A and B are shown apart, each in its own frame.
Chain A
């Protein structure tokens, strides 16, 4: 009875992890109860020593998210991994989510600026052909410079974004190690 309840709770808390992976995780815990029984220990004992199923599920979710983000490298996945980490405790909310949002904003603004350079080029050409603020020659120069700056910035930001992703994943891992052992006590 205790075993059934425990496993049911764990299963419920793992609902964000897709089915096959979820089954795999459950296997370890079902096994634990089974082997405990083979060694003549009660279900209560086995459940008590396992600890809080919700906490376990959080850790598992985190591991899964980090792996997911590594394999795909998308911003959505990475954000999910960061959120899973933040879910582990208040400390993480401050030390993981905060810096992550700040970094993301910086990256986003860099992307916006490099995009704006492109728009500036179009605007300058339009002004050169149809307006009278600048000559065509001047407009061409402005446009070429703007496109150049935009492309350089874009390439730089792309590299930076990749770097930030790699670093974030590394930090998440490091952070998990620290937090996992802290939360227990």
Chain B
């Protein structure tokens, strides 16, 4: 009955309604989307590695089903959550800097300062 469903193809289907693009160059937006999808997959891998480490540390052995069934107690879940926050702060650092720069729009550049320092 569900032969018609190809999950791989349909999972990423486009929703009805024209997609908005926000960046000046839509190609950049595409690259941003690919980058964030990759960032997602790195986080997924990191969480899996963390699960593997914790099971090994506790039991010394490991099976696929241990990984699938793993449910971190609250302090561990929070440590993993903190890692993800730290990770996102790293990945999206450029935005942090731009936001900080908003507080000082007339900030001189190194070039400006160089001119100033070199002036007689």
- A is bound by B: no
B residues near A (Cβ < 8 Å) are none
A residues near B (Cβ < 8 Å) are none
